[in-house]
Structure 1
Amino acid sequence: METQLLLIAVNGKSHDIRIHKTYEATFINQLTNFLKP
């Protein structure tokens, strides 16, 4: 799931920075939740 979001974020950056930022935030949230003890 995290990898898919990262790929979407990277691809989104090239054509829409706002979409990229949204996916980037989602990815960071997912990663943070995954790393929580």
Structure 2
Amino acid sequence: MAKRVVLAYSGGLDTSVAVRWMIENWGVEVICLA
């Protein structure tokens, strides 16, 4: 089971890239809160 990360998501390019980067590099499940 992958670890979970909760991210405050602004919808901008930087957080969109960060979500994908964390999934690919850390192997985590990302939960975004807007």
TM-score (norm: length of structure 2) = 0.40
Relative contact order, CA 8 A, sep 6+: which one is greater? 2
**Greater helix proportion:** 1
Rg larger in structure: 1
Higher strand share: 2
What TM-score, normalized to structure 1?
0.39
